[in-house]
Structure 1
């Protein structure tokens, strides 16, 4: 089972699985040409590709979009982020996929209005990836200057390969996790979805 392999072998298996998704590879290479600071291709397009490969589905099945995070706290204006989005729209022209580019340095400016909870300013693209609703989502890949793959996986890769969805209650509300998990379970019924942690009553040990 891949999820029980040593980390170096899991990294090799991750690259092999993601390389089965031709759209993902094209997004990686085109994003690299944009020279966005601290960028990563992240979230669903990565772990869902692995799920598809692991369960013998088409590598692109069920993937809604391809998320690109970058971090530029030197200019927090919408105009600067919009310029990056428009440059991406040109770079991804003709690609049969929706690619969403977001400056994670600006998330705290709009997060509470959208999700109903405040968000402290992120300090990097990595710190934004750390805040996904499920630890399984906390995964980022980019191409280095030498063309090599750089992988950010703060919770490791075992859950990704073992088809385990684990809550990450650091920012996103419980409702966000449960809504996403229910949607994923409909698409990939092989998943094991773990429950959101419930605080124990005062004075009692947690479960």
Structure 2
């Protein structure tokens, strides 16, 4: 019999999707964030990554809501790549969301403009927000959600949800992000010791 926190591991994709949606809907912070993002009415907008899978782990291990969540990441994609346009949307978002946990809203059309100065690597322009989600350093982290006008949830999870429900951090070597995968894995293991970390593949 597997540990209770692994009860959705290796289940069907439909079962895992339903479990994820139930956990998200049970989280006041996530639902408030999704509703706020919808109210911003930004193009190609998503709640992404950590706040989603971290809350799944919290729910399944009985930890408090948002335990270990440093910030809540929101993506959108706007062809206006000026700093001023993004800053305007960030300021609009600041009026909607409480300061804790902090919300970070970023236009994915601008990523290639600052990526090299932050990470020391060139980055090709992204075509949309989904591609940005697809390229996170761990496949486990590649997940995004959106709340639609009818209150249904739209999921983008290019590698499925089994890594999340199996408490397994699996690298995503589509970009040379070994250092990011390892750093995030170390921090997350300190918050959720149930996690298994798959090593970055050898060069």
Cα deviation for residue 171 of structure 1 reads 2.2
Query: Which secondary structure does the structure 1 equivalent of 2:127 belong to?
Result: coil
Distance 1:172 1:30 in 2: 33
Distance 1:159 1:179 in 2: 18
Is residue 105 of structure 2 the alignment partner of residue 101 of structure 1?
A: yes
Cα deviation for residue 172 of structure 1 reads 4.8
Name the structure 2 match of 1:53.
59
What pairs up with 1:84-99 in 2 under 5 angstroms? 84-92=89-97, 94=98, 96-99=100-103
Is residue 177 of structure 2 the alignment partner of residue 169 of structure 1?
A: no
Contact 2:25 2:31 in 1 (8 A): yes
Runs of 4+ with >3 A deviation: none
Query: Which secondary structure does the structure 2 equivalent of 1:117 belong to?
Result: coil
Bigger Cα displacement from structure 2, 40-49 vs 55-64: 55-64
Equivalenced residues, count: 197
Cα deviation for residue 18 of structure 1 reads 1.7
Q: TM-score, normalised by structure 1?
A: 0.92
Alignment gaps of 5+ in structure 1: 200-207
Name the structure 2 match of 1:22.
28
Name the structure 1 match of 2:17.
11
What pairs up with 1:48-87 in 2 under 5 angstroms? 48-73=54-79, 75-87=80-92
Contact 1:20 1:59 in 2 (8 A): no
Is residue 140 of structure 2 the alignment partner of residue 133 of structure 1?
A: no
Q: TM-score, normalised by structure 2?
A: 0.94
Query: Which secondary structure does the structure 2 equivalent of 1:2 belong to?
Result: coil
